[in-house]
Amino acid sequence: MFENTALEDGANRVREALGSIEDELQRVQKDLKRRRTRVEKRLDTRRKQLEKRFTAQRRDLEKRAKKLRTRIEKNPTVKRLESTRKDARKQFSQRVQDLLETLSIASKSDVQRIDRKISQLNRKLREMEETAS
């Protein structure tokens, strides 16, 4: 009988400890959930602040870059360089065109024009073959 009472007593203690552990576990889970929520809110707030700051900085940099570009484009030296570049491009194109003509080589535009003509002739030939059939 003493053994049964001791066993029952031990079993009751285990049940109480188990219940206590479950209560403690639920308390810890609630605490962790609260902490997680607070941390997530802080992170979200901080992220929004950073996005706002970086957006403002980006706008400021874009504005400054636009002003700088405008100043550079208005610079007489840059204008002269741009003009010289355009002239050099025209001269180079003309020289290449002259060389192609001298060597009797068709330019890209000539080849494209000829290709379009051949395509038109092929279409007309197909049409004529279809009507002849």
**Per-residue DSSP letter, 105:** -
- Is 90 inside any structural domain? no
**Per-residue DSSP letter, 91:** H
- Among 17-21, 43-47, 101-105, 121-125, which is the least confidently predicted range? 17-21
- Is 70 inside any structural domain? yes
What b/e string do you get for 45-82 counting C-beta neighbours within 10 Å, with b at 16 or more? Answer: eeeeeeeeeeeeeeeeeeeeeeeeeeeeeeeeeeeeee
In tens, the pLDDT along 51-89 reads 999 999 999 999 999 999 999 999 999 999 999 999 999
- Is 121 inside any structural domain? no
Could you tell me the residue range of the domain that residue 32 belongs to?
2-74
**pLDDT confidence band for 92 (50 / 70 / 90):** very high
| Count of domains forming the chain | 1
- Is 69 inside any structural domain? yes
- Is 19 inside any structural domain? yes
- Is 126 inside any structural domain? no
- Is 34 inside any structural domain? yes
**H helix runs in 75-107, sequence order:** 76-102
